[in-house]
């Protein structure tokens, strides 16, 4: 049960929009609420518009060319709006995991043998939310992991219980304030408002994990173009995030260098022939490869498919080893890594799931977007997992089912702040 729910909904919201800004692509998705009361599950999100463009102007999670990124966003949004027949005014966007700081800590409050109610919980979480963080950081997610009353631990909902001291373990996720301002500036130049910020690995997990995986524990690894993100979940909550500056673009770069071909052609070869599975017939199969050079006349040469496979396999194997070293260094390999989900565009290489399962000695499956229906290409393609997760987060936040601590918005009026303080302390 979620501790916080929205009290009232004045105007029912029917349309939700998400914008996934990645290193290799910008994707905009628009969905509407569809009532399916005749089926189990009630309301669902139906995708009505999708647009995606090559990402320009962003590198390593940071904006390096505002105008170029603005063009990519506008093109993606325009395509989605045309397909949906709707004009959007706000979007839920992702923030790069490479800039994220993640910490877990405990917060305590005395309740003096009183019955725990909403006021106690709100005061406790406010204390935790206002924990010491750097002045240049802004809280994006404050996620309660579990509560304790005196010596009783692992409580999910303490309301109605009695004790002396109420405690909570909170997972706090922060990003630099300047990063937020730069993204706000960029989205504002596209004449859009931002409804929510969500860190990329959290969104990927929300869209690819089933309920049992969220509860029992699982780790989602999103292999993007320039970054691989890691998100670990337990008891329905995000408990750890991490990232590595390596992704599918590095495979493309290795191919381009290894066989002396332009990057565009290397990406094409990776898409058409890329695999980590070695075959006895690969030596006999030839691939025509355009060569690098200054001549206007296109020059080509032939390579064996086995040469391409060896290049791809070597990079993927190295990447998977680096991922596991990072997971093991945090201790998550012992806590929530019995079940691992691979998603993102880089996870689509044939044989990568089997290689990961062998190297890591764990159950590994490929994750596809869940919980959003319509547009089969979107719903079955791992490269859209983050965008689908942003839609789900936005919907859950709107309905009040998102398990998160309310964050402070713009500074309230003086008397509003006084009233809030009185309510929380008396």
Q: What is the pLDDT along the chain (426 residues), one digit of tens a residue?
A: 444 443 333 356 789 999 999 988 999 999 998 876 545 456 788 999 999 999 999 887 888 999 999 999 999 999 999 999 999 999 999 999 888 888 888 888 888 888 888 888 888 877 777 766 788 899 899 888 889 998 888 888 888 899 888 988 888 899 999 999 999 999 999 999 999 999 999 999 999 999 999 989 999 999 998 899 999 999 889 999 999 999 999 999 999 999 999 999 999 999 999 999 988 888 888 998 888 875 556 678 889 999 999 999 999 999 999 999 999 998 898 888 889 999 999 999 999 999 999 999 999 999 998 888 887 677 788 989 999 999 999 998 887 766 665 554 433 344 444 444 444 444
* Paired sense of beta strands 372-373 and 193-199, if any: unpaired
Beta carbons of 346 and 229 less than 8 angstroms apart: no
DSSP H stretches of helix in 229-331:
248-259, 263-273, 305-330
pLDDT score at 380:
80
CATH 3.30.1490.110 in the chain is located at 100-175
Q: Is the dihedral of CA 406, 411, 412, 417 positive or negative?
A: positive
pLDDT score at 396:
86
> CB burial class (10 A; 0-12, 13-18, 19+) of residue 165?
middle
pLDDT score at 297:
63
Helix (H) or strand (E) holding 346: none
* Distance (Å, whole) CA 12 – CA 107: 35
pLDDT score at 6:
39
Tokens 């498919």 — which residue?
A: 305
**In 3-state terms, what secondary structure has residue 407?**
coil
* Distance (Å, whole) CA 326 – CA 66: 32
Q: Which one, of 352, 205, 203, 174, lies nearest residue 275 by Cα?
A: 352
Residues in the chain: 426
* Distance (Å, whole) CA 107 – CA 113: 18
pLDDT score at 30:
95
pLDDT score at 10:
37
Q: Which residues pair with 162 in a beta bridge?
A: 115
* Distance (Å, whole) CA 398 – CA 9: 9
* Distance (Å, whole) CA 267 – CA 96: 23
CB atoms within 10 A of CB 141: 25
pLDDT score at 42:
67
**In 3-state terms, what secondary structure has residue 392?**
helix
CATH 3.30.420.40 in the chain is located at 1-99+176-209+370-426, 210-369
pLDDT score at 284:
86
Q: How many CA atoms lie within 13 A of 295 on its CB side?
A: 7
pLDDT score at 401:
63
* Distance (Å, whole) CA 16 – CA 88: 8
* Distance (Å, whole) CA 47 – CA 391: 9
**CATH architecture group of domain 1-99+176-209+370-426:** 2-Layer Sandwich (3.30)
For residue 215, give the DSSP letter. Answer: H
Q: Which residues pair with 54 in a beta bridge?
A: 25
pLDDT score at 296:
59
* Distance (Å, whole) CA 307 – CA 341: 29
pLDDT score at 127:
77
Beta carbons of 27 and 50 less than 8 angstroms apart: yes
**CATH architecture group of domain 210-369:** 2-Layer Sandwich (3.30)
- Give me the sheet containing 193-199, strands edge to edge: 193-199, 90-95, 15-21, 25-36, 42-54, 372-373
DSSP E strands in 24-177: the ranges are 25-36, 42-54, 58-59, 62-63, 90-95, 101-115, 137-149, 152-155, 162-176
C-alpha distances out from residue 300 to 213, 277, 288, 312, Å: 49, 26, 7, 21
Helix (H) or strand (E) holding 315: helix 305-330
For residue 371, give the DSSP letter. Answer: S
C-alpha distances out from residue 329 to 170, 325, 376, Å: 21, 6, 38
φ, ψ for residue 203, nearest 5 deg: -60, -40
Give this prediction's pTM: 0.86
* Distance (Å, whole) CA 187 – CA 44: 27
pLDDT score at 420:
47
φ, ψ for residue 408, nearest 5 deg: -70, 140
Fold exhibited by the domain 100-175: Dna Ligase; domain 1 (3.30.1490)
pLDDT score at 99:
87
């Amino acid at each position: 049960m979620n501790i916080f729910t929205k009290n009232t909904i004045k105007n029912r919201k029917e349309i939700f929009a998400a914008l996934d800004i990645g290193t290799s692509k910008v994707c905009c998705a628009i969905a509407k609420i569809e009532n399916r009361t005749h089926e189990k599950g009630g309301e669902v999100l139906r995708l009505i518009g999708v647009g995606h463009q090559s990402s320009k102007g962003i590198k390593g999670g940071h904006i390096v060319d505002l105008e170029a990124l603005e063009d990519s966003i506008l093109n993606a949004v325009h395509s989605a709006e045309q397909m949906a027949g709707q004009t959007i005014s706000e979007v839920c966007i992702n923030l790069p995991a490479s800039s994220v700081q993640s910490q877990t800590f405990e917060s305590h409050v005395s309740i003096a043998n009183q019955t725990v109610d909403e006021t106690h919980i709100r005061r406790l979480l406010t204390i935790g939310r206002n924990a010491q963080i750097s002045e240049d950081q802004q809280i994006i997610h404050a996620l309660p992991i579990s509560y304790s009353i005196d010596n009783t631990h692992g409580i999910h909902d303490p309301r109605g219980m009695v004790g002396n001291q109420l405690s909570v373990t909170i997972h706090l996720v922060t990003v630099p304030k300047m990063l937020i301002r730069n993204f706000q500036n960029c989205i504002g130049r596209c004449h859009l408002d931002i409804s929510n910020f969500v860190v990329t690995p959290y969104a990927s997990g929300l869209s690819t994990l089933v309920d049992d995986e969220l509860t029992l524990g699982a780790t989602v690894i999103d292999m993007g173009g320039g970054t691989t993100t890691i998100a670990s979940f337990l008891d329905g909550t995000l408990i750890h995030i991490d990232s590595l500056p390596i992704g599918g673009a590095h495979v493309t770069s290795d191919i381009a260098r290894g066989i002396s071909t332009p990057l565009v052609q290397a990406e094409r070869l990776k898409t058409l022939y890329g695999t980590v599975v070695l075959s006895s017939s690969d030596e006999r199969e030839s691939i025509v490869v355009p060569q690098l050079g200054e001549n206007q006349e296109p020059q080509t040469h032939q390579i064996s498919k086995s040469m391409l496979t060896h290049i791809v396999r070597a990079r993927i194997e190295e990447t998977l080893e680096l991922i596991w070293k990072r997971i093991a260094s945090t201790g998550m390999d012992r806590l929530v890594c019995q079940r691992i989900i691979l998603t993102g565009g880089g996870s689509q290489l044939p044989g990568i799931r089997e290689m990961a399962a062998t190297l890591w000695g764990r159950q590994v499956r490929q994750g596809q977007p869940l919980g959003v229906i319509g547009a089969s290409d979107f719903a079955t393609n791992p490269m859209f997992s983050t965008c689908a997760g942003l839609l789900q987060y936005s919907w859950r936040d709107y309905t009040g089912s998102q398990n998160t601590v309310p964050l402070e918005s713009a500074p309230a009026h003086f008397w509003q702040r006084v009233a809030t303080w009185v309510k929380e302390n008396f």
